[in-house]
Amino acid sequence: GIQVEQSPPDLILQEGANSTLRCNFSDSVNNLQWFHQNPWGQLINLFYIPSGTKQNGRLSATTVATERYSLLYISSSQTTDSGVYFCAVEETSGSRLTFGEGTQLTVNP
């Protein structure tokens, strides 16, 4: 099956810093999503981004499908950004999402 690798596994920032999280995948995909898992365990949709670039406030994401990677940018980080960020890919429409191992982000005040 498809492999999804995220880096870095852990990231510690000071409030106000910027960061880039990376997701590599081993095969072509129909769908790619970024999620934030908050401290209560909820998976919050950040981006649906099979290709191209999207922005939502301080967050933006870029997927280069031909090179099989996606990047999540967090600017001016806040303590509420802490949690685990997951990348997940879908190989064909309506099929399972395969998740990466996640990046544990800690933003210190």
Partner 1 sequence: EPEVTQTPSHQVTQMGQEVILRCVPISNHLYFYWYRQILGQKVEFLVSFYNNEISEKSEIFDDQFSVERPDGSNFTLKIRSTKLEDSAMYFCASSEVTEAFFGQGTRLTVV
Are residues 106 and 11 in contact, defined by beta-carbon separation less than 8 angstroms?
yes
How many Cβ atoms are within 10 Å of 1's Cβ, its own excluded? 8
Q: Is 73 in the site for partner 1 (CB under 8 A)?
A: no
The reply to whether 86 sits near partner 1 by the rule CB under 8 A is yes
Q: Choose between 48 and 64: whose C-beta lies nearer to partner 1.
A: 48
Are 50 and 65 contacting, i.e. CB atoms less than 8 angstroms apart? yes
Q: How far apart are CA 28 and CA 54, in angstroms?
A: 20
The interface mask with partner 1, positions 34-63, x = CB under 8 A, is -x----xxxx-x--x---------------
Binding site for partner 1 (CB under 8 A): 30-31, 33, 35, 40-43, 45, 48, 86, 88, 90, 93-102
